[in-house]
Amino acid sequence: MSDRLRAVYGQLLAVLFALVIGAIIILMVDESPVKVFMTLLRGAFGDQAKIAGTLLQTTPILICGVAACIGLRGGMFNVGIEEQLALDADIEHATAQA
């Protein structure tokens, strides 16, 4: 098995494991995991406005992930990504007010 295929299997296994653990926790509070997961998906992807809202909220997090990957590829670990995001938001807010 190639390394790339092994990495994909590892990621799929991690997602499946997270879903199973989530379902167990949901069952512990006497709710239906299917109902909860469907509500979660409808809330994030129910219509065009919800998809746009989801993309709007996840874009900064994805950009931070890309920034972390760039640093890691260069052999450095950036511990200040969250603060850089907050500072960027402050600068954008100040620029929009000007």
Angstrom CA distances, 50 to 39, 47, 53, 63, 67, stand at 13, 5, 5, 20, 26
In whole angstroms, give the CA distance from residue 68 to residue 61: 11
pTM to 2 decimals?
0.65
Each residue of 28-87: pLDDT tens digit? 999 999 999 999 999 999 999 999 999 989 988 888 889 889 989 999 988 888 888 888
Provide DSSP, 51-93.
HHHHHHHHHHHHHHHHHHHHHHHTT---TTHHHHHHHHHHHHH
